[in-house]
Amino acid sequence: MLLLHGHPRTAATWHRVAPLLVDAGYTVICPDLRGYGASSKPPTTHDHAPYSKRAMAADMSRLLGRLGHEDAAVVGHDRGSYVAFRMAMDTPHLVSRLAVLDSVPIGEALARCNARFAAEWWHWFFFAQPEVPERVILADPDAWYRGSIDQMGPEAYAEFHRAIHDPATVGAMVEDYRAGLGVDRAHDDADQAAGRRLTCPTLVLWSSRDDMEKLYGDPLTVWRTWANDLSGGVIDSGHHMAEEAPGQLAEALRGFLGPLVDA
């Protein structure tokens, strides 16, 4: 099972969920995404393609091969869900099942952008601006990101704290968003125009105290345009469900992924 974190977290965000899944018999891989945490931060280009979800998904595909796995169930939260989705679209033979947490595809989100989306998700458009986001964030990273030791746990918080104070990491994290508004949307739109769909069973989970339902109503209605074998539901949590409701999340994943392994 490959677990992919969101912004501005690192792989440590899964530290309460991963042991529960290991105890259930799964092999669990928790990497830092390209640009995040301790992962590499390659130079960008004018189109931000080095930080596209396609590039990040290719990283994960190579990682699976390097570790000797022919395929995996892929779980992504927040920005990590876009990488998981892109991996399932580009290399379906590597993704046996897909779970996306607190998201709809980038192209779908932008196609539905209205005043509410712009007011609540304004950071998407701020992060896409040149140079300014990095300067603003690095002026006071703790005030900007407001991480909680109690919520995250001391070790995960320490890793997060190092990341948000590293100029290279902050620059790479906003590159993720710059790619999102351009090349990532183009990839989603091209798939949709070509009628390409997910070929694996897909689980969609969203947090009850986040804004997914306010923005999209039932998120499953959005995902039905992409997936035939679709299920989902709500986790009683704020946005960072792996930290706030690890037991519920692990139970939901076990229920979805159970037939994959002999525990």
pLDDT for 262: 44
From the candidates 69, 161, 165, 239, give the one annotated as an active-site residue.
239
Considering the entire predicted model, what is its pTM? 0.96
Scan for tokens 């390209």, then name that residue: 34
Residue 21 neighbours by CB under 8 Å, 6+ apart: 1, 28, 250, 253, 254
What CATH number is associated with residue 75? Answer: 3.40.50.1820
Q: Which domain holds residue 118?
A: 2-260
pLDDT for 258: 78
- Known catalytic membership, residue 78: yes
From the candidates 32, 48, 78, 188, give the one annotated as an active-site residue.
78
DSSP codes, 18-83: HHHHHHTT---B-PPPTTSTTS------TT-GGGSHHHHHHHHHHHHHHTT-S-EEEEEETHHHHH
- Report whether 179 contacts 51 (CB < 8 A): yes
- Report whether 210 contacts 239 (CB < 8 A): yes
95-101/202-207 β-pairing: parallel
Tens digit of each residue's pLDDT, the chain (263 residues): 999 999 999 999 999 999 999 999 999 999 999 999 999 999 999 999 999 999 999 999 999 999 999 999 999 999 999 999 999 999 999 999 999 999 999 999 999 999 999 999 999 999 999 999 999 999 999 999 999 999 999 999 999 999 999 999 999 999 999 999 999 999 999 999 999 999 999 999 999 999 999 999 999 999 999 999 999 999 999 999 999 999 999 999 999 987 554 43
* Strand ranges across the sheet with 95-101: 2-4, 72-77, 95-101, 202-207, 230-235
State the total domains in the chain. 1
Joined together, the tokens standing for residue 144 give: 């900007």
Residues in the chain: 263
pLDDT for 259: 55
- Known catalytic membership, residue 218: no
Beta-sheet strands, E only, within the chain: 2-4, 72-77, 95-101, 202-207, 230-235
